[in-house]
Amino acid sequence: MTGYLLYHSIGQYPGKAADLARAMAEFATSWGAQDDGQWAFALGRRARYLERWRAILNAPEGSVTTCESVTGGLHALVTALPRDRLRGRRVLVAADCFPSNHFLLAGLADRLGFTLDTVPMRQGAPWVEPEDVLDRWGPDVGLALLTWVSSTSSHRLDLAPLLAHGRAVGTVCVVDVTQGAGLLPYDATALGADATVSTSLKWMCGTPGAGVLHVAPALAATCAPELRGWFSQDNPFNWDIAAFAFAPDIRRFDSGTPGIVAALATLPALDWHAREDRAAMLAWNRRLSARLVEGADRLGLPLASPREERRRGGSVMLRMADADGAVARLKAAGVVADRRGDVLRLSPGPVTTEEGVERAIAALS
């Protein structure tokens, strides 16, 4: 029985290996055929990938494209904004954001002329409190990066009031939904998010390199991406080198010949996800997560995640002096988990069983 608790890293679903092998075999057959059908096949699969993600985000048509990673998508957006959006202003980010995004913003600050303002965690706290973000969020903030669910605490932001505040003061608001997309409902349109970035690795159960960038149409129309190419145009087959013009929608964030293999390899996982009962998937996660919290309480292990379900993503994280040793003990018991520093990360999903969770608790005791 499976003790897979690694959905915060790589998601799994029943039959994933066979689906992935089949998709790769289909691609190999098409790409290796001595005919002219390769691009119709590959671009068609990419279009289906984008439609699946558009439905997950409830994003408008023409507002979602591929990117290699969350960091890559964020870079594409930040460097495409009109310079006066950021120059001389602050970019606001919480200290519990995904570190790769912070590395990127810190490196761009001098070149783009903004000050990176990182909201710290309170003494001994495992996540940044949203009220501390709001306290530092004034009209001089040109862009705010909101991490919906933290990868180190599973703390979940209530996005609606934060995005409403951002609109009121004229901030471009980017939401990183990586640790929640596919498990928790997200609605880019209802929330009014300016942009959304994600990967397909976690609850979406996809492959590396299959990222997604959503940019609201009104914002996209003002952007001039640095990386541009023939696919950035409304008509990619325009060969007049003196007549380049950006496509009117998200396609302006495309550039040269698009990388398709990661999206094509991930499409079976997105198709599987679209067939599933999402409410049942979340209910299963909540049931197993509650059991993990009960077990931690019984063992006297302090939570590094919010206790309240509404404030928590799909993971239960525990503070442990010997988190590395705990990972080894879990592995010996047939339970797969990992750690970040002294935080043990446990994330039950569709393939996780109740017996696997009980084995995890027994191993931790």
Q: What is the pLDDT of residues 88-132, one digit of tens each?
A: 999 999 999 999 999 999 999 999 999 999 999 999 999 999 999
Structure tokens at 356: 């696997």
* Average pLDDT, integer, range 71-95: 97
CA distance 27 to 41: 8
On average, the pLDDT of the chain sits at 97
CA distance 271 to 301: 38
pLDDT at 1 over 80: no
* Digit-coded pLDDT (tens) for 35-73: 999 999 999 999 999 999 999 999 999 999 999 999 999
DSSP 11: -
- 56: part of which helix (H) or strand (E)? helix 38-57
CA distance 40 to 27: 12
Determine the 3-state secondary structure of 155 from DSSP. strand
CA distance 53 to 196: 11
CA distance 153 to 303: 9
What does each C-alpha distance from 84 to 72, 101, 217 come to in angstroms?
22, 21, 19
* Average pLDDT, integer, range 23-27: 98
> What pLDDT score does 25 carry?
98
Write the burial class of residue 165 (CB in 10 Å: 0-12 exposed, 13-18 middle, 19+ buried).
middle
DSSP 250: G
Reported pTM = 0.96
* Average pLDDT, integer, range 24-34: 97
* Digit-coded pLDDT (tens) for 198-217: 999 999 999 999 999 999 99
